[in-house]
Structure 1
Amino acid sequence: MKITVFSAKAYDKEYLQQANRGFELAFIESRLNQQTVALAAGSQAICVFVNDQLDKAVLQELKMMGVQHIALRCAGFNNVDLEAARELGLQVSRVPAYSPEAVAEHTLALVLTLNRRLHKAYNRVKEGNFSLQGLLGFNLHGKTVGIIGTGRIGLATGRLFKGFGCQLLGHDPLPSDDWQAMGGQYCALQKLFSEADIVSLHCPLTPQTRHMINDQSLALMKDGVMLINTSRGGLIDTGAVIRSLKNRKIGYLGLDVYEMEGDLFFEDLSNQIIQDDLFQRLATFPNVLITGHQGFFTHEALSQIAATTMHNLYLAQQQRTDKTSFLV
């Protein structure tokens, strides 16, 4: 089976080749969209990532080319029109759990860096400036952390915060016994927003969760709240967050994702003029820390992603007669 791998970076090639189970892999650096879909010609399957576009038009083109399986090498699937895939008889698989600790640890890295101004302290010391003025932080111990989404990543994040002595509030339409076993409490979103010192997002992007952080939800939060998003950028209304940064409702903002990241992240744009005015405005705030969707980027996570992706493709090859769409 020939597989075209879109949005392929050097590390994707390295880990997927290590996990390859005898497939013919063609690596394409370009993202998948209507302009690049022709590059999948001759393939029976494609492998895609978070910013590849798989709308109905692209899926129809893939079907006409003879593609039978779409393997997502990520957990989220909001970039795929699943209804169209089902109608076309295209199989869809994903990697629902690779290394929840990787994202959880990155979440804590954002929290600690923002709180103790480690990025600012690093630059100061490099310049010979050892003043502590402006670097004052707060103890995490005793603070209330609200975690929205208590799946594998939310649970892993909760365990880390628990180790710091934090109180845990959670919200999830599917409650977890593990969350309650480690001392976490479930509550309505309104209560979580109003009582949490730190709000951390760990839920999928769906029509119901899109822009769940908006003017109304932000108004419920404590003044000076810390907001962290390592899940999906579309959970946050960027304009609303900018307004809340300007009026100091948000005291700290840590983002590993951004709702318009498709034209920015995973690329070296250091010699270009970035045209996204909202992103540029976000980057001007001294209490905002943005990383380029690297929460998953550990050796352990990449190894598991590659292994699961190849296993999904192996299963797809064994089940070619099954024309139903599925998520693994």
Structure 2
Amino acid sequence: MPRPTALLLGTIGHARKEWESLSEIAELKEITTGTRESVIQDFKDGKYDGVVAIYRTYDSAQITGRFDKDFVSQLPSSVRFLCHNGAGYDQIDIEPCTARGILVAHTPGAVNNATANIAMMLILQALRKTYIAETSLRKGTWRGQLPLGHDPDGKVLGILGLGGIGVALSTRAKAFGMSLIYHNRREAAHNPAGAEYVADLAQFLGRCDVLSIHLPLTEVTRHYLGKKELLGLKKGAVLVNTARGAVIDEAALVEVLEAGHLGSVGLDVYEEEPKIHEGLIKREDVVLFPHIGTFTIETQKKMEVLVVDNVCSALTRGKLLTVVPEQKGKEAEIQENR
């Protein structure tokens, strides 16, 4: 029987050896340049017929664009598995994949610690308004107009989404003396730091001294926090987002900041990356990072290895290790749709 084929979309920087080791069980192909149109044409020409599993990097969106219904419909009929490098997978429309019998994997767990570290860093910097301190120093004005900051001790940290990253943040924040509450659709099964569950969103927001966002971006969570919700936070509260920018209505956030309702903000993600709302850039009470939550050697390696492991499992066992929640428990049924 012919060997299966695995296709890499994008480039691998830290687990190249692991990817190439798959050549023992499969033929390996790669697409590292091109356009959405050229890739689709290659699919139509049969260049990638026989591909069973696709390794998709986050940055490969610059080549293919979104894995939307149109793009998924152009994939070779042999494709059964799509292995995405990223805990968030909002670049992929799951429904058309499911309809075609394609299972999708992501990289939960691998990103937890690094992203939680960035969230904690943003919390501390937003509380102390370190941007003002650093820019003043670099301008030669020592502290400049730096106001007194706030300590994290005793502050109520609200975690919106107590998943893997939220749990990792909760253990870090507890070490800084913060009180912990969280809001999920349902009570979390894993809560090692003992955060208090608050089922009502409005009540939850009203208790937050600091709000840290850890929701995936879906059609349900897009603009989950609009003007009403942002004004529902305590006056002077700190808001931090390391999830996805579009979970917040960015224009509303700027409006609420300009009204003086929030104390400060720390952001690693934006609604239209890499574009950032001008109203955020010009403010000294906003700490801005360029989406570096998982930007460490160790975490990038863990993520890439996990994707390779998913491809390997798909090719050898016909199963994914970390299937996306929408498909979890339905794998056999989905594959039967083929």
Calculate the TM-score normalised by the size of structure 1: 0.83
Contact 2:69–2:93 (Cα < 8 Å) also in 1: yes
8 Å CA contact retained: 1:143, 1:197: yes
1:42 counterpart residue number:
48
Deviations 1:281-302 (A, max 9, x none): 3211221222222101122211
SS at match of 2:277: helix
Q: CA deviation at 1:109?
A: 1.1
Q: Shift of the alpha carbon at 1:73?
A: 0.6
* Residue 22 of structure 1 pairs with residue 30 of structure 2: no
1:157-216 Cα offsets, whole Å, 9 max, x none, are: 01111111111111112423542x523101121111111011101121222222111011
2:22 partner letter: G
Superposition CA RMSD, Å: 2.6
Q: Deviation of residue 37 (structure 1)?
A: 4.2
Matched, 1:79 2:91: yes
Counterparts of 1:175-214 in structure 2 under 5 Å? Answer: 175-179=187-191, 181-187=192-198, 188-214=200-226
For the 8 Å contact 1:34–1:58, the answer to whether it is kept is no
Structure 1 segments of 4 or more deviating over 4 A? 32-41, 319-323
Unaligned ranges ≥5, structure 1? 265-275
Structure 2's unaligned 5+ residue stretches are: 320-331
Stretch of structure 1 that moved more, 35-44 or 95-104: 35-44
Does the alignment pair 1:303 with 2:316? no
Asked if the contact 1:202–1:231 (Cα under 8 Å) also holds between the matched residues in 2, the reply is: yes
1:239 is matched with 251
Letter in 2 for 1:184: A
Matched, 1:100 2:104: no
Show the counterpart of 2:162.
150
* Contact kept? 1:74, 1:95, Cα under 8 Å: yes
Q: Is contact 1:4-1:25 (8 Å) kept?
A: yes
Q: For residues 81-138 of structure 1, what are the alpha-carbon distances to aligned partners after superposition, in whole Å with 9 as ceiling and x for unaligned?
A: 2221122222321112203111010001112222223333233333433235324211
Cα distance per residue 1:7-30 (max 9 Å; x no partner): x4xxxx221303323243525256
Q: State whether residues 214 and 242 of structure 2, in contact with CA within 8 Å, keep that contact through their aligned partners in structure 1.
A: yes
> Residues 1-328 of structure 1: matches in 2 within 5 Å?
1-6=5-10, 8=11, 13-20=12-19, 21-23=21-23, 24=28, 26=30, 28=32, 33=36, 36-38=39-41, 41-42=47-48, 44=51, 45-50=53-58, 52=61, 53-63=66-76, 66-131=78-143, 133-179=145-191, 181-187=192-198, 188-261=200-273, 264=274, 276=275, 279-319=277-317, 324=334
Q: Which secondary structure state, in structure 2, belongs to the residue aligned with residue 250 of structure 1?
A: coil
CA distance in 2, matches of 1:174, 1:305: 28
Distance 2:30 2:176 in 1: 45
1:38 Cα deviation after fit = 4.3
- The 8 Å contact of residues 282 and 288 in structure 1, kept in 2 or not, is answered as yes
State the 1:320 CA deviation: 5.5
Q: Could you state the TM-score of these two structures normalised by the residue count of structure 2?
A: 0.81
Q: Is the 8 Å Cα contact of residues 92 and 325 (structure 1) preserved in structure 2?
A: no
Instruction: Determine helix, strand or coil for the equivalent of 2:260.
Output: coil
Letter of the aligned partner of 2:307 in structure 1? T
Which range moves more in the overlay, 202-211 or 141-150?
202-211
Decide whether aligned partners of structure 1 residues 204 and 303 sit closer, same or farther in structure 2, where only a CA change above 3 A counts: same
Match of 1:268 in 2: none
The question of whether the paired residues in 1 share the 8 Å contact of 2:6 and 2:55 is answered with no
Q: 1:310 & 1:185 partners in 2: Cα distance?
A: 37
Cα distance in 2 for partners of 1:29, 1:285 equals 38
Q: Report SS of the residue matched to 1:242.
A: helix
Q: Which amino acid aligns with 1:286?
A: E
Aligned length: 304
Q: 1:34/1:257 Cα in 2 relative to 1: closer, same or farther (>3 Å)?
A: farther
Change in 2 beyond 3 A, CA 1:223/1:36? farther
TM-aligned CA distance change 1:14 to 1:194, over 3 Å? same
User: 1:154 is matched by which residue type in structure 2?
Assistant: G
Q: 1:306 to 1:138 in 2, by over 3 A?
A: same
Q: Retained in 2: the 8 A contact 1:33–1:54?
A: no
Whole-angstrom CA distance in 1 between matches of 2:121 and 2:224: 23
SS at match of 2:334: coil
Q: By how many angstroms is 1:33 displaced?
A: 4.5
Gap change, CA 1:165 and 1:209, over 3 Å in 2: same
